[in-house]
Amino acid sequence: MEFEESGIGEECGVFGCVAAGEWPTQLEVAQILTLGLVALQHRGQESAGVVTSNGANPPTYSTHKGMGLVNSAFSPEALQKLRHDNLGICHTRYSTTGISELQNCQPFVVDTLHGKIAVAHNGELINAQALRKRVMRHGVGLSTGSDSELITQLLALTPPMEEQDTPDWVARIKNLMSETPTSYSLLVMFRDVIYAVRDPYGNRPLCIGRIVPVSKLYSSGSGEQDTEGWVVSSESCSFQSIGAKYYREVLPGEIVQLSKHGVKSLSVVARPEGDAPAFCIFEYVYFARPDTIFEGQMVYTVRQRCGRQLAIESPTDADVVSTVPESATPAALGYAQQSGLPYIEVLCKNRYVGRTFIQPNTRLRQLGVAKKFGALSDNFAGKRVVLIDDSIVRGNTISPIIKLLKEAGATEVHIRVASPPIRFPCYMGINIPTKEELIANRPEFKDIAGYIGADSVKYLTIEGLVSAVQEGIATKQENKVIVSQKRVGHCTACLTGKYPVELEW
């Protein structure tokens, strides 16, 4: 919850779909794209866009973009114009670079020497300034401040190894990867295929799903002959609502081609020798939806393990365990299971107030919190409460909640945080407040319990978080792609200040 109120943003979400078999397809590609994007709405609420294609040579592209939530941005009339296309990509945005305007809305479409391409991007380039200058030296103007437009223009540049009349998109994508090591998951649509790309460090998530008949959705016997289409998404949580089965993750550095003929791995670009992967650990802590699968494990289960580890590291003499709704609930359940204390609800959430992080100052943010929760006093009056939260970022949000609980009858309120203190900004796609704004870097942190009005405050350690995340990642074979312990690694830069690559300014 604390992330939601603090100014920390969830980057973006990308989704793509290709109909399998004969074209024109009977599959409602535009509807699938929309439903897939709605399932990724938690990753961005600023704007949404979709580009579809008939897949011909040359193709006809149809584009629709709008500000706000997906259901607001995509009207039935707009989707009707896209309904006869065979493939498409879409994007929901929370800006980390570029201002909040429709012109920054993705996907971007540009003309290249070989025809139009459409690009959707999740992440943030660590060397964007240098790349911007390089593109401009080629005489290319940039109309937005978005890293995603920059990526699109870099892909449009002809690499040295490409023959004049034959587009080599693997070479172009590899050329992009050589220019910038992280952070990006990309969807690139050209003619009748979608290329799914993940940076060599795997900092942002990307996975593939297979659309099957509804009758085969929960059957273990369906084979690829039952495939009605292929989808690719930032998170697997989008698959169930469109009738798709999880297929596999796109590996760090991998370039995968999705077409009506199936899924084909074209190349894997290696990291510098000795460098581990750097998947963002806060995808597990907060950003991802609980039913998403990363690295072969469900996010909900990882959050429960974080709660159990927190109970081991920071036990509390208390009567009940609860949570600030809702993303910390799995951790609270894990804490209750490990500690043997009963789990109860102490707060009732008003779901229609809105997200208070869009309010501009501390006073309004605090009022927003007061409007957002009601105390279930019958559950905890006269009791000592352990309250589990995702994080304490600024400290402005949790303080009025503690006051609310104590005024409603809690004798003690002990805060246990299911992640370590955030001390450093993220430069790879997460919108974190400045270093000075983070409570962990301010003098008040020395007595944070007194500052926020709690009886005690304890955080999960970095070692505890990494252990809880990596415990469930086993060596296994997944669709003939080996995932081994040697390839496991997570970015903890916002906690440690140790970034996976050297930053360029």
Determine if residue 390 is labeled as part of a ligand binding site: yes
Q: At what angle do helices 462-470 and 299-313 cross, to 10 degrees?
A: 140
d(CA 19, CA 177): 28
Active-site annotation holds for 90: no
Strands annotated E in 199-346: 207-211, 229-233, 244-249, 254-259, 262-268, 279-280, 293-294, 297-298, 320-323
Do 455 and 413 form a contact (C-beta atoms < 8 A)? Answer: yes
Instruction: Given the residues 12, 17, 105, 237, select the one marked as catalytic.
Output: 12
**491 labeled binding residue:** yes
| Segment (H or E) for 108 | strand 108-112
Separation in Å, CA 321 to CA 181, 391, 404, 412, 491 = 43, 16, 16, 12, 30
Give the separation between CA 101 and CA 64, rounded to whole angstroms: 15
Give the chain's length.
505
CB 368, CB 353: distance < 8 Å: yes
| Among 452, 468, 470, 492, residue whose Cα is nearest residue 335 | 468
Per DSSP (E only), the strands in 138-243 are: 184-190, 193-198, 207-211, 229-233
Q: Is 348 annotated as a binding residue?
A: no
Q: How many helices and strands in the chain, by DSSP H and E?
A: 15, 25
User: Count of CB atoms within 10 A of residue 355's CB?
Assistant: 11
Q: Which helix (H) or strand (E) holds 16?
A: strand 12-19
Strands (E), 217-350: 229-233, 244-249, 254-259, 262-268, 279-280, 293-294, 297-298, 320-323, 347-349
Q: Which residues belong to the active site?
A: 12
Binding site listing:
280, 327, 389-390, 426, 491, 494
Binding site listing for Mg(2+):
327, 389-390
Binding site listing for [4Fe-4S] cluster:
280, 426, 491, 494
